[in-house]
Structure 1
Amino acid sequence: MSEEQTVSLVDVLEEDEELEEEASAVLAGSDSDHCSYPQGYVKRQALYACNTCTPKGGEAAGVCLACSYKCHEGHDLFELYTKRNFRCDCGNRKFSELQCKLYPEKEEVNSLNKYSQNFFGVYCTCGRPYPDPDDQVEDEMIQCVVCEDWLHGRHLGCLVPDCVELQEMICEACMNKNPFLWTYAAHLAVPGVAVQVKEETGTDESNTNLPKKEEKPSCKRSREEAEPSCRLKELDAIGKKRVQSGAVFWPSAWRSRLCSCNACKESLSEAGLSFLLDESDTVLAYENKGKSNEQGQQRHDPLMSALDNLNRVQQLEIIHGYNDMKTELKDFLQRFAAEGKVVTPDDIRQFFEQQQSRKRQRVDAGRFYCT
């Protein structure tokens, strides 16, 4: 009989805790009780697409977190993670047989919403679903910060760097659609094994550390000369080149190093990329907000509110009892993990029976010494 692969309950609890943290980061930044439609085109929110109401072949539509719970319960939903500048479609013209239960007074269509293949449950340049039952290769999916599509790591055309969860990625298609990004990539992007960088001959090496600190203009210079210089033009003039293929990964705070002169702002606006100048647009900023909201809700936990109604002695007794049980349970489970054993229902039952026995002994001992 072959030995089956097993995991300890400690592993299960740790994995469950990680999943809860990830869910809190994504969902706690969105309202789970009220439709987001009245807020207009929300800067960033968790979104879903309903395959039951808007199947492939129809019009793409997205619904907010609250509507996914209240209006589409039991439906076949595609989790879209987060999207920027989106207004909830639930119950509008695209849903012929469904009316929004939370906010039925919607316009027929949200003309500024942007849709992609993700709204029909397919992703990446390969156009496959996720998870893909026919794909036997273990691979992570990474979201492009521009088009917001999700791509397999192996389809990015480059090696995925370490600490990828702290870095933003722009796919090759979006880089080529906005060629000026390649200039920034040569100076700001995370270096990768598959990336080749070369310098043009005749370049002054002393200028390679741009962006420079701008000199203060003298009073003799004209107003035009005193205008802030264009950082993008300065970087382009250096002549530092990068192989223009594959996706590009960017380090934290890279957006703050983009040029924000009037000309560049106008160009970004025309390309629909103004959000690149906004650090709070990042998914990481959204997730941190969600975690903060979740922590705030935990501080108002009903159990903690109940504790507030008890006197100080009762509060301490309950808190100490809880901490003792948590410590003992952790030690109990760690023994199984160290020995590679599986925790059975009988083991758990025995643990709590021992807890009850110890509690009775403490009570009996207390009665004895009080007489």
Structure 2
Amino acid sequence: MAAREEEEEEEATVSLVDVLEEDEDLEQEASAVLGGSDSEHCSYSQGYVKRQALYACNTCTPKGGEAAGICLACSYKCHEGHDLFELYTKRNFRCDCGNSKFRDLRCKFYPEKEPLNGQNRYSHNFFGLYCTCNRPYPDPEDQVEDEMIQCIICEDWLHGRHLGRSVPDCMELQEMICGSCMNNSPFLWMYAAHLTGNSKEKKTEKQEDQQQQEETEEASSSFLSTTTTENSETAASCKRSRQQLQDGCRLQQLQEVGPGQSGAVFWPPSWRSKLCTCLKCQGSYSAAGVSFLLDSSDTVLDYETRGRSQEPVQGHDLLMSALEPLNRVQQLEIIHEYNDMKSELKDFLQRFAAEGKVVTPDDITGFFEQQQTRKRRRVDAAQLHCS
């Protein structure tokens, strides 16, 4: 019995370290997702924000009503205590808080907003539903462990098992486009056949560049050999021909490979840079509503990278709420002490876990007594220095 109790205590000790590590992971994830958004000011004045963290309020706009999205600041200030759906991030969205979709609520930041934001795009996500199965997440009735992946075009979240294709083992840097969005932009299938390794006739980038260079040289040589006059019309024609060769449509060069694919597509890193940017293709992107694919900064990875580089969003953090009455210097001192204590406590517990020892109440008491002793020494040293 004693051995079993000791084993249970040891497991509890390890789980405590895991909790601290998980807490750090959650903080980093929050910084990535929320760091690019403003927790103190409604984003409405910025218009249709390129990308921001969004929420939907089930209290104010429940299922059966009109879909609406609110920014991070409004989720804190205007919808405190409400039932909110976290939507992660959405592109080109303007905050709806307090507009005509909300009956009695008015935005505390901008009480007078336009009735509607016509360029916003909505989906069943705004009512807490996801995937082609139209289910909530987390789903209490779903007993299957499965990850959810966001499509970069429709921005819906889909279960891995509903993508119509197996999920790669390592996809941290890969972007996914669901099968429905691929079919809505059929020209993407041509790129998929070459860039995702599913084409038997796939050529390396070096081979494609070499082939294009050979075709350019051959065409230029042939053209110049037949040009004997030097009048302005011939010179202009030569210039146009060279320009057409240099600005050749990349997609047109891929037409020989048929689609023959279905389901979602996982794209390799930097795949967007391989897309053709000729005028004809730009028109195709615009018509399909996917012009953002040509913007390298549109990616969630880029957004999260910028978010991590900024100060963590505090929002309604209990520590910050308690520090509000203090001045800035006092706040920074306490936050510094808190971070030091948290780091030292993790190191302290980690040593016990590594050695397989059980943490006793006396150990915890001793840790905090040691913290108090160190603090008194720092205070005494500071007073001695000042005197």
Candidates 265, 272, 293, aligned match of 2:310: 293
Say if 1:9 and 1:343, in contact at 8 Å, map to a contact too: no
Pick aligned residue for 2:47 from 40, 43, 46? 40
Instruction: Summarize the Cα distance change of 1:252–1:206 in structure 2 as closer, same or farther, 3 Å threshold.
Output: closer
**SS of the counterpart of 1:293?**
coil
Quote the Cα distance in structure 2 between the aligned partners of 1:18 and 1:163: 19
Instruction: Tell whether 2:157 aligns with 1:159.
Output: no
CA distance in 1, matches of 2:341, 2:115: 56
Contact 2:31 2:313 in 1 (8 A): no
Show the counterpart of 2:66.
59
**Cα displacement (A) at 1:184:** 0.3
- Report deviation, 1:360: 7.5
Q: Where does residue 187 of structure 1 map in the other structure? A: 194
In 1, Cα distance between the equivalents of 2:275 and 2:20?
A: 43
Pick closer, same or farther for the CA change 1:109–1:329 going to 2, 3 Å: closer
Number of positions where the alignment pairs a residue of Structure 1 with one of Structure 2: 340
For residues 221-261 of structure 1, the C-alpha deviation after alignment (integer angstroms, 9 at most, x for no partner) is 35145221000011223x2x564122111122111110000
Deviation (angstroms), 1:347: 3.2
Alpha-carbon distance in structure 2 between the residues aligned to 1:288 and 1:180: 30
Q: 1:354 deviation in Å?
A: 3.7
Contact 2:30 2:312 in 1 (8 A): no
Match of 2:300 among 258, 268, 283: 283
Higher-RCO chain (CA-CA 8 Å, sequence separation at least 6):
2
What amino acid is aligned across from residue 158 of structure 2 in structure 1?
Answer: L
1:233 aligns with 2:252: yes
- Whole-angstrom CA distance in 1 between matches of 2:371 and 2:204: 71
The answer to whether the 8 A contact 1:197-1:243 is kept is no
Give 2:288's aligned amino acid: A
Q: Which amino acid aligns with 1:233?
A: Q
Q: Displacement, 1:350? A: 2.1
| 1:255-266 matches, cutoff 5 A | 255-266=272-283
Contact 1:8–1:336 (CA under 8 A) maintained in structure 2: no
Say whether the 8 Å CA contact 1:210–1:235 is kept in structure 2. no
Q: Which secondary structure state, in structure 2, belongs to the residue aligned with residue 169 of structure 1?
A: strand
After TM superposition, list the pairs within 5 Å mapping 1:87-126 onto structure 2. Answer: 87-126=94-133
TM-score (norm 2): 0.77
In the alignment, is residue 336 of structure 1 matched against residue 378 of structure 2? no
1:347-366 per-residue CA deviation (whole Å, 9 max, x = no partner) reads: 322212244457789999xx
1:348 aligns with 2:367: no
Q: 1:326 to 1:283 in 2, by over 3 A?
A: closer
- Residues 211-250 of structure 1: pairs in structure 2 closer than 5 A: 215=216, 218=220, 220=224, 221-227=238-244, 228-237=247-256, 239=257, 241=258, 243-250=260-267
The whole-number CA distance in structure 1 between the counterparts of 2:20 and 2:267 is 33
Output the CA distance in 2 between the equivalents of 1:69 and 1:323: 24
User: Unaligned stretches of 5+ in structure 2?
Assistant: 225-237, 315-319, 381-387
SS in structure 2 of the partner of residue 81 of structure 1: strand
Question: What is the percent sequence identity of the aligned residues?
Answer: 70
Judging by fraction of residues, say which structure has more helix. Answer: 2
RMSD in angstroms over aligned alpha carbons?
A: 3.5
Unaligned runs of 5+ in 1: 311-318, 365-371
Structure 2 residue matching 1:91: 3-state secondary structure = coil
Provide the TM-score with structure 1 as the length reference.
0.80
Q: Which deviates more, 153-162 or 323-332? A: 323-332
Per-residue deviation at 1:210?
Answer: 3.0
Q: Distance in 1 between matches of 2:281 and 2:275?
A: 9
Structure 2 residue identity aligned to 1:274: S
From the superposition, tell whether residues 329 and 48 of structure 1 become closer, same or farther in structure 2 (CA, over 3 Å). closer
